[in-house]
Each structure stands twice: as C-alpha cells, then as structure tokens.
Chain A
Amino acid sequence: AQKVTQAQTEISVVEKEDVTLDCVYETRDTTYYLFWYKQPPSGELVFLIRRNSFDEQNEISGRYSWNFQKSTSSFNFTITASQVVDSAVYFCALSEAVLNFGNEKLTFGTGTRLTIIP
C-alpha cells in the first residue's frame, strides 16, 4: 500500500525567509511518480511538479526547489525568499506508474498549511 506523510501540519515564517516542507513516502512499486500541489485560499489544487522515481536530480523553478532522495524516501520542497503569495496549503502526492499514461490515481499526504507573515 502507498502512503504519504507530511509531518508538518502548519508552518509560519516571516516573509523573505526560506522554508522547507517535508514529504516522506512509502511504496512497494519500483517505478512511481511524486507530485506537489498548492491549494491557495480559492480552493483549487494547483499542480507544481511531477517527478519520476528514476530521476533523482534536484529541480529548481524560480524560488521553488525540490530535493528527491530515494534513500530516505523523501521529496522535500523548499521555497526561497518566501512571499505572502506563497501562503497556502501544500500537498505532496504519490502515484504508481502504469502502462496507460494518464491513469494515475494519487495518494495524498494530509497537507502542510504554510503562512507567510508580512
């Protein structure tokens, strides 16, 4: 069975500080995908990143970066120089890799509520 753990329920940091959101996963699959979604106050889940289990390179997108480490089953998300607009709930998710692309049901963590204090 798959499981995603986001141990940090809520985090508050002052604007411009860096913050890291932790994600630890469990799966028996050898091939899988990891995701991060952002849920702003408007409610929809906004896709941030999708990472294949074979690709352990860290990824950077602007102020966002992701650290994938298979050895510790972690896929952590760092926001550099945080801004008030980063305030949201962030979800980490996992899916198995299937033959028919697109059929990927997601297993989510419980989310981390991030508040950036101006």
Chain B
Amino acid sequence: EAGVTQFPSHSVIEKGQTVTLRCDPISGHDNLYWYRRVMGKEIKFLLHFVKESKQDESGMPNNRFLAERTGGTYSTLKVQPAELEDSGVYFCASSRSSGGTYEQYFGPGTRLTVT
C-alpha cells in the first residue's frame, strides 16, 4: 500500500506570507496527526483528526495555524501569516482506528523555511 505522502517537500516563504501544507494519509486510516520539529528540538504534536473531526488540537501554537480534513481524506495545514519561528519540519502521520497494532505511519515531512 502507498505510504503517507506530504506536499511540498520543501517550502521557502517570506515572513507574513501564507503557506499551505498537504498530507495524504494511508488509505483507510481514520486517524491523522500533524507534528512539527523545530531545528534541534523534539518533534511536537500539533493536532489529531479522526476522520474529518478534530479530536485534539492542544498542540497548535496559535490561531495563525489552521488545519482541515475535508471528507476525512487528505488534510491541509495553513499558516497565515507565517513568522520566523514557524520554520521547521512538519510531519504528518496516520493510523488505523481499529485492528492492527495502531502504530503511526509517518510521511517524509515538509521543511518550511520562513525568511
């Protein structure tokens, strides 16, 4: 089966601009997670979807970040307006809701650079 895919792989934008990151989870995975790694620090949880519903968005830094998952398939994470501290690698992960071992499968990440 195809893995988790993320687009773009790398984005360079100026402070104040808007960027939208996309994640396509593994087909059939109801759970979708967004994480972020700022340079040299740990990977931190941002939010969790179950199908199209946000279950936990406690990790979202502020209201400049907006995540959506229309139809319970792919998800987008929009940053508007971007700030310098938003630079980092944004990871998406998906997992099944039932059956299997529930591990999260991660995508390759989107490296966001805000200048």
Which residues of A does B touch, CB under 8 Å?
A: 4, 35, 37, 42-47, 50, 91, 93, 100-111
Contacts and interface: CB of A to CB of B under 8 A. Distances in A.
Given A103-B48, A108-B43, A110-B41, A37 B31 contact: no
A64 to B, nearest CB: 15
B108 interface: yes
Contacts of B41: 110
A103 B44 contact: no
A50 B59 CA distance: 23
Contacts of A110: 40-42
Nearest to B55: A103
A106 B35 contact: yes
Contacts of B95: 102, 104
Nearest to A44: B108
> What is the predominant secondary structure among interface residues of chain A facing chain B?
loop
A4 B44 CA distance: 11
In the A-B complex, list the 7 residue pairs whose CB atoms are closest, starting with the nearest: A45-B106, A108-B43, A43-B108, A44-B108, A105-B45, A102-B97, A47-B103
B14 interface: no
B50 interface: yes
Contacts of A109: 42
Contact of A35 (B56, B96, B103): B103
A108 B55 contact: no
A106 B102 contact: no
20 contacts: A4-B42, A35-B103, A45-B106, A46-B106, A47-B103, A47-B106, A50-B103, A102-B30, A102-B31, A102-B50, A102-B98, A102-B102, A103-B31, A104-B102, A106-B33, A106-B43, A107-B45, A108-B42, A108-B44, A110-B42
B109 interface: yes
B63 interface: no
A22 B109 CA distance: 25
A17 B91 CA distance: 32
